[in-house]
Amino acid sequence: MTKKLKTPPSFKTEAEERAFWQSHDSSDYIDWKKAERAQLPNLKPTTKSISLRLPISLLERIKIAANKQDVPYQSLIKMWLAEKTNSV
């Protein structure tokens, strides 16, 4: 016997949708047996700018290290942070 699926409501914001799905079972709205894996090749992660005060000497050392690896220093900082947080 096939279960009658409910129609998901419309959402005004992503936060409203997130709250809905945190408190509802998606299997009431979606037949997961028919689901297919999605490919999103152009999806970029959401980013947020932050301000970080560093001693000038530290920033200069970071820029030198970035130059040696031929990457922008901001990218090198992000790589280091990602490596460090993944190893925790």
Count Cβ neighbours within 10 Å for each residue of 21-34 and write b for 16 or more, e otherwise: eeeeeeeeeeeeee
pLDDT recorded at residue 8:
93
pLDDT recorded at residue 74:
96
Confidence of residue 3 (pLDDT cuts 50, 70, 90): confident
**Angstrom distances, CA of residue 42 to CA of 35, 39, 45:** 21, 9, 10
Q: Where are the domains of the chain?
A: 1-34, 51-88
State the residue for tokens 């999806």.
Answer: 43
DSSP state at residue 9: P
Helix, strand, coil % in the chain, rounded to nearest 5:
50, 0, 50
pLDDT, mean of residues 46-74:
96
pLDDT recorded at residue 45:
83
Asked if the model's pLDDT at residue 62 lies above 90, the reply is yes
